[in-house]
Structure 1
Amino acid sequence: MLNKRRNLVLAAGTLALAAALPAFAQEPFPSRPIRVVVPYAAGGTTDQLARAIQKPMSDFLGQPIIIDNKPGAGGTIGTDIVAKATPDGYTIVFGNSGPNAIVGLMRKTPYDMLKDLRPISTVAICPMILTVPADSPAKTLKEFVQLAKQKSGEWNFGSVGNGSLSHLTGEYLNTLLGTKLVHVPYAGGAPMMTAFAGGQLQMAFVTGLDGAAMVGSGKVRYLAVGTPERTPVVPGLPAMGEEVPGFNTVAWFGILAPAGIPDVVANKLHAAVVHALAQPDIKKMFTERNVDPRPSTPKQLEDMIKGEMNQWGQVIKKQNITAG
């Protein structure tokens, strides 16, 4: 009788423990909608790319993908939401260089860029493109470099925000050329490109998504792609490395999840990204906007983040850059 009673107690305890386990340990993933936090306002490059893969990811996973824009503080507000979310795969972030590799080098963030988020996959790689107004006296990259040196301290460059990749790329150019081009931050890509049309900027480094409309209207011109060598992603343009040896800057965009997410869930999300980027219409949309649709392994994305932290950490220190 005593043994029977003990067995009943043990069985009851086992049932109670099972009931207390997180839902993701009991049910197949996914069994409900997935929230993708975009840490920027709607309409920008990050938001456009996230929405582009929203439907094919949803089709693959069999559940709705809900885009949730949470802008602010250089992308760190939305990123922190995900860093502190339950690690079950139902809240993930569409990240990029800024909040995941750069901002934490300039000021304290409420999350650790390497420890609190688990890389899932890159989605896209975008070369940064040197862009000038249509009436700029710089008609070639060589002329631009010569004029930038002559106009040091006079010419300005725009960015999508203080501490952003477009900001650091401009300061990177200052570092390599020994110039003092003046930084002018804007609250996103749209107002920055509008500043071009108003004649307020002499240059900026942009992604193909931010620059497409203005280039198509003839109000600005692309001069060079920010890579050591020419790239088919932006055909016909010289590489910055041809006139500025060592210059190399690209923007990445990808999916990250809270640290602690189960491997089976991470693998399912990774497979969904790979599926989405394999769709012909997605490839076409990305290519037309000078974006390389490129999935990666989690380790490749992690290594990219670490490499950026090293590269941009040196620029931040040399130029004494802080993020607001």
Structure 2
Amino acid sequence: MTRSRRRVLHAVAAAALSTLALGAAAQDAWPSKPIRIVVPYAAGGSTDQLARAIQKPMQDFLKQPVVVDNKAGAGGTIGTDQVAKAAPDGYTIVFGNSGPNAIVPLMRKIPYDPLKDLRPISTVAITPMILAVPADTPARTLKEFIALARQQDWNFGSVGNGSLSHLTGEHFNALAGLKLTHVPYAGGAPMMTAFGGGQLQAAFVTGLDGASMLQAGKVKYLAVATPQRTNTVPGLPAIAEEVPGFRSVAWFGVLAPAGVPDAIATKLHAAVEYAVTRPEVQKMFAERNIEARASKPEELAKTIRDEMAQWGEVVKRSNVKMD
């Protein structure tokens, strides 16, 4: 090898090492500017409330502003797609849930692959779906409700066609042998208002959706959709005690673009974990029957895959479609 060629190779190697060093230094310095959390739903909804609960603790941990940006539409897929296509530098992340990450893709084509284009960081909250009924419903137990529902032309509400609350109701119909008619609403707030107006006989809600109406004495809870009873919603039986095999649990969590470097993903996970363990966050969640829970990224990834399998069967069986 000639001396000049050796010089060229040495220069190339030095440049490559320098680039790697600069990349590592940039990751070590991350974050150096504000982080944007995209909430793919309107402000004020349950997902938005939870995202804003961890906003300040994450900001305190990362020492940079953390900004919540609502990008609603198409069942949460518009905002989620924006993050899936964002630069994988950790400065744009999404506060997701079952809908755009596991359920909507089962019913219509979306512009991203939730298993390939997004990198799970951590869950933030876990909450069982809860069977809620108007306070004046004569049924005092789940068993009484099922018996009455078999004799009546009753309905159930949801926060939207193809939502988790919708699929949970269809799943309940199938396993309990009922024919409750589905009535979709454009979100949790209008659905709960329908309860107050006497337009619904039942709905599967999260603790966030049901909290105000429960406190006002306009609805009551009959059972939870965890496989067993849970301290998250104390005092209620599990639906599975009367309807074997029934389960429906909602999660909320943080995901990033798939190409985010490991070092940055690790820092994001640490920030979420810190936020979830703050006493004020845990108190706010507990008051709304929600469990504050961070998870390893691989656990969230498994949850998404498991949900696709579970709800895929329900979609096929019930022939649920989205516009």
TM-score, scaled to structure 1: 0.93
Matches within 5 A, 1:173-192: 173-192=172-191
1:34 pairs with 2:44: no
TM-fit CA distance, 1:17: 11
Provide the residue aligned with 1:74 in structure 2.
75
Deviation at 1:228, TM superposition (A): 2.1
Q: Distance in 2 between matches of 1:24 and 1:315?
A: 48
Moved more, 220-229 or 102-111: 220-229
Q: Does 1:46 align with 2:47?
A: yes
Q: Count how many residue pairs are aligned between Structure 1 and Structure 2.
A: 320
In structure 2, the partner of 1:300 is 299
1:119 aligns with 2:120: yes
Runs of 4+ in 1 over 4 A off after TM superposition: 2-19, 21-27
The C-alpha deviation readout for 1:222-275, integer Å capped at 9, x for no partner, is 111112211000001111011111111110000000101100000000000111
Read off the aligned partner of 1:170 and give its amino acid letter: G
Query: Secondary structure of 1:236's partner?
Result: coil
Write the letter of the residue equivalent to 2:229: R
Give, in whole Å, the separation in 2 of the partners of 1:177 and 1:287.
Answer: 30
CA 1:66–1:135 in structure 2 vs 1: closer, same or farther (change >3 Å)?
A: same
Question: What residue number does 2:283 align with?
Answer: 284
**Which residue identity is paired with 1:66?**
V
Q: List runs of 5+ in structure 1 lacking aligned partners.
A: none
Residue of structure 1 equivalent to 2:317: 318
User: What is the distance in 2 between the residues matched to 1:260 and 1:279?
Assistant: 29
Partner of 2:194: 195
1:155–1:181 Cα contact (<8 Å) kept: yes
Q: Which runs of 5+ in 2 are unaligned?
A: none
Q: Map residues 66-215 of structure 1 onto 2, 5 A cutoff.
A: 66-151=67-152, 154-215=153-214
The 8 Å contact of residues 124 and 254 in structure 1, kept in 2 or not, is answered as yes
Aligned-residue offset at 1:87? 0.6
Counterpart secondary structure, 2:223: strand
Q: Give the deviation of 1:216 after TM superposition.
A: 0.2
Contact 1:227 1:240 survives alignment (8 Å): yes
Q: Structure 1 194/22 Cα, relative in aligned 2: closer, same or farther at 3 Å? A: farther
Residue pair 2:27, 2:263 contacting (<8 A) in 1 also:
no
How far did 1:97 drift?
0.4
1:220/1:9 CA distance change after superposition, 3 Å: same
- The one-letter code of the counterpart of 2:120 is P
% same residue: 70
Q: Are the aligned partners of 1:158 and 1:184 in contact in 2 as well (CA < 8 Å)?
A: yes
Q: Is the 8 A contact 1:126 1:250 kept in 2?
A: yes
Q: Is the 8 A contact 2:27 2:264 kept in 1?
A: no
For each residue in 1:83-125, what CA deviation from the matched residue of structure 2 results, as whole angstroms up to 9, or x when unmatched?
0001110000000001001100011111011111010000000
Deviation at 1:278, TM superposition (A): 1.2
Give deviations 1:196-241, integer Å, cap 9, x for gaps.
0011110000000110000000111111111221100000111101
Asked if the contact 1:24/1:88 (under 8 Å) is kept, the reply is: no
Q: Give the secondary structure class of the aligned counterpart of 1:53.
A: helix
